[in-house]
A and B are shown apart, each in its own frame.
Chain A
Amino acid sequence: MSSLQAKYQASSRREEHPVADKVSRAFSVVSVWTCVIFTIIIIGVLALVTGYLLSIGFSSLSWDFFTKVAIPQGMAGYPGGMKHALLGTVELIVLASILGIPLGMLTGVYLSEYSANSFLATPTRFICDVLTGVPSIVVGILGYELVVRPIGNFNGLAGAMALAYIMVPIIARTTEEMLRLVPNSYREASVALGATKARTILKVVLPAATGSVITGVMLAVARVAGETAPLLFTTLGSAYIRFNPLEPFPSLTQQIFDYSKSPDPAQQRLAWGGVIVLIVLIFALNLGVRFFARSVQTRAS
């Protein structure tokens, strides 16, 4: 080895460049600490906000909150509770799921399994992506024009349809992504045994992706549970427990909005209670989704 080569080989060693080495180590330390500090700041801010909300809200939660409906001022038991709103939200979520989940999943199946030979697939995918970002108030106004006006009054069905409208693109895209993750070898094996495409999808591909598809659906439901703007224009809100979707419908988010505008501190306290319940609900739904996803993973492996 010539002396030039030896010099070249030696010069790439770290010890030969003390300054550059120190700078790179310092940079590494600074980066790590920056990340740590920002993480602490963010968690701290979130903890403060949540703590503040909880402290105010917990004092407004009572047994009445969950068991009484809204009682107007002047009557005994004012202001009552939010039972009607809680029930209303549950009913709206169920109705929106019935409308939105099958449509979303079938669209996802189409985009993933049948789109190879179809020119509809690319525009459909693009539209789904755009619709996931549509402002929910626009969806509310759409619901007003298309459903409330023809029916003649504010109603729960319009609210459920608006919520379903938000759910469908999310479910379609997540279903498509999860189905694409199913390895092609399953499809080939099924087809090689003489199964039709429909049977392959129903009996092999969808079951293989069940866990992930359900996770996507639950996340869409969790997102929709906290929506307010679509419901403002479609359901109007009500002080009574409702089971008929063709009348104005109560819901938790919309009731919080109403009570928060009220001058009376009693009703404002109810609004705070509603906020806590809503946060806990969304939190529980998301945690549930994570636990479910993990349990599905361990089952499949």
Chain B
Amino acid sequence: MKEIAAPMSSEPPEAHKGADAAARLARPGKIAAAQPPARPGPGHGAEIHPEINAEQHALSVENFCLYYGKTKALHEVSMPIAAQKVTSLVGPSGCGKSTLLRSINRLNDLIDTVRTEGKMIFRGEDVYGPNIDIIRLRKRLGMVFQKSNPFPMSIFENVIYSRRITGERSKAILHEVCERSLRGAALWDEVKDRLHQSALGLSGGQQQRLCIARAIAAEPEVLLMDEPCSALDPIATAKVEDLIHELRGKYTVVIVTHSMQQAARVSDYTAFMYLGRLIEYGPTASIFQNPRLKQTEDYITGRFG
């Protein structure tokens, strides 16, 4: 069993984690006793499939807890995110997947009552460390929201907003970035004749693809998507999912989704969360075909949630 935990990537924390997970799996008693209690108790370790540790890690969540005032919303979540792959977070409503996603680029800082513990390691630095320049980090973490939110500006201005932030003036470069991003979001052909019209005139699906174009114009390393298709019709959803297929390999994508089918179609790795805890995490095929915990199987087959 120990051989499955292959030699790690360069970062020591990941190697340490991988060895932990492998050691946990190696103890035979642990697997046999993997009957989850009706409610996971404190300190219940997540079931992490070892294939994760064979990957390069773009981001690593370590013992991350989050409190909304006195309520604990995330309980000691630890998971590495594989680089250049699509990872999906699934789970019933209120399980903390959106909260976890928003914690990655510290968007929860905008809410007053939020307090966090634990670490999130991105590019070797702890995102919640004391001296972190979060503005610089946010430029590397793009985010797409559930409800499309284009700014009340022209399409062109929307897409190059991130370049205006860095002070880019050259019109040639701005136009090139705009075209590249819109092509990358499969929106160029539809809007190339009306780049200077208001973005609010686009349809819902187009607006969401515009938001994706806006996010990738910043050339982030990790793309965080919070239920990007939940407000879209099936055709627009299919287009966005095709887009995610193309983005894989270039970007690391973390997507929160309510739809099990979408997770199965789109992602390489799936993490199942429940009540603020990570329950199981592994390659999508394994999670859907042989989930290790009964709770995961119950959720996937629709018995609860």
Chain A positions within 8 Å of B, measured between CB atoms, are 116-117, 183-196, 199, 203-204, 207-208, 300-301
Contacts and interface: CB of A to CB of B under 8 A. Distances in A.
B161 interface: yes
B211 A196 contact: no
Interface in B149-165: 149, 151-153, 161-162, 164-165
Given A117-B112, A188-B110, A300-B200, A193 B149 contact: no
Contacts of B107: 188, 191-192
A281 to B, nearest CB: 33
15 contacts: A183-B149, A188-B110, A188-B145, A190-B161, A191-B138, A192-B215, A193-B139, A193-B215, A193-B218, A194-B135, A194-B218, A195-B165, A204-B151, A300-B152, A301-B200
B147 interface: yes
A196 B136 CA distance: 10
A208 B149 CA distance: 12
B297 to A, nearest CB: 35
A57 B254 CA distance: 73
Given A199-B165, A207-B152, A193 B110 contact: no
Contact of A192 (B105, B112, B147, B164): B105
A300 to B, nearest CB: 7
B145 A193 contact: no
Interface string B221-244: 000000000000000000000000
Q: From B107, B143, B152, B218, name the one whose CB has the most chain A CB atoms within 10 angstroms.
A: B152
A196 B133 CA distance: 11
Contacts of A194: 135-136, 138-139, 162, 165, 218
B305 to A, nearest CB: 26
A208 B200 CA distance: 12
A59 B143 CA distance: 68
B142 interface: yes
A169 B107 CA distance: 32
Contact of A185 (B145, B161, B164, B165): B145
B138 to A, nearest CB: 4
A190 B110 CA distance: 12
Nearest to A207: B152
Contacts of B151: 186, 189-190, 204, 208
B49 interface: no
Contacts of A203: 164
B214 interface: yes
List the 4 shortest-distance A-B pairs measured between CB atoms, nearest first. A194-B139, A185-B149, A192-B143, A194-B138
A189 B135 CA distance: 13
A207 B153 contact: yes
B110 to A, nearest CB: 7
Contact of B162 (A116, A117, A184, A193): A193
Contacts of B139: 193-194
A187 B110 contact: yes
Contacts of B164: 203
A192 to B, nearest CB: 4
Give the one of A193, A195, A199 with max B CB within 10 A.
A193
Interface string B42-73: 00000000000000000000000000000000
Contacts of B200: 300-301
A189 B107 CA distance: 10
Contacts of A183: 149
A288 to B, nearest CB: 23
Interface in B116-169: 135-136, 138-139, 141-143, 145, 147, 149, 151-153, 161-162, 164-165
B152 A192 contact: no
Nearest to B138: A194
Contacts of B112: 116-117
A191 B110 contact: yes
A181 to B, nearest CB: 13
A189 B149 contact: yes
A185 B135 contact: no
Contact of B142 (A116, A187, A192): A192
A283 B91 CA distance: 59
Contacts of B138: 191-194
Residue in B112, B141, B143, B161 with the greatest tally of chain A CB atoms within 10 Å: B161
Interface string B257-270: 00000000000000
Given A185-B149, A190-B151, 20 more contacts: A116-B112, A117-B112, A184-B110, A188-B107, A188-B110, A189-B143, A189-B211, A190-B161, A191-B138, A192-B105, A192-B142, A192-B215, A193-B138, A193-B161, A193-B214, A193-B215, A194-B218, A195-B135, A204-B151, A208-B152
Interface in B98-121: 105, 107, 110, 112
Nearest to A116: B112
A300 B200 CA distance: 8
A188 B149 contact: yes
Nearest to B162: A193
B177 to A, nearest CB: 13
A196 B149 contact: no
Contacts of B147: 185
Nearest to A196: B135
Nearest to A189: B149
Contacts of A196: 135
B24 to A, nearest CB: 35
A296 to B, nearest CB: 11
A183 B110 CA distance: 14
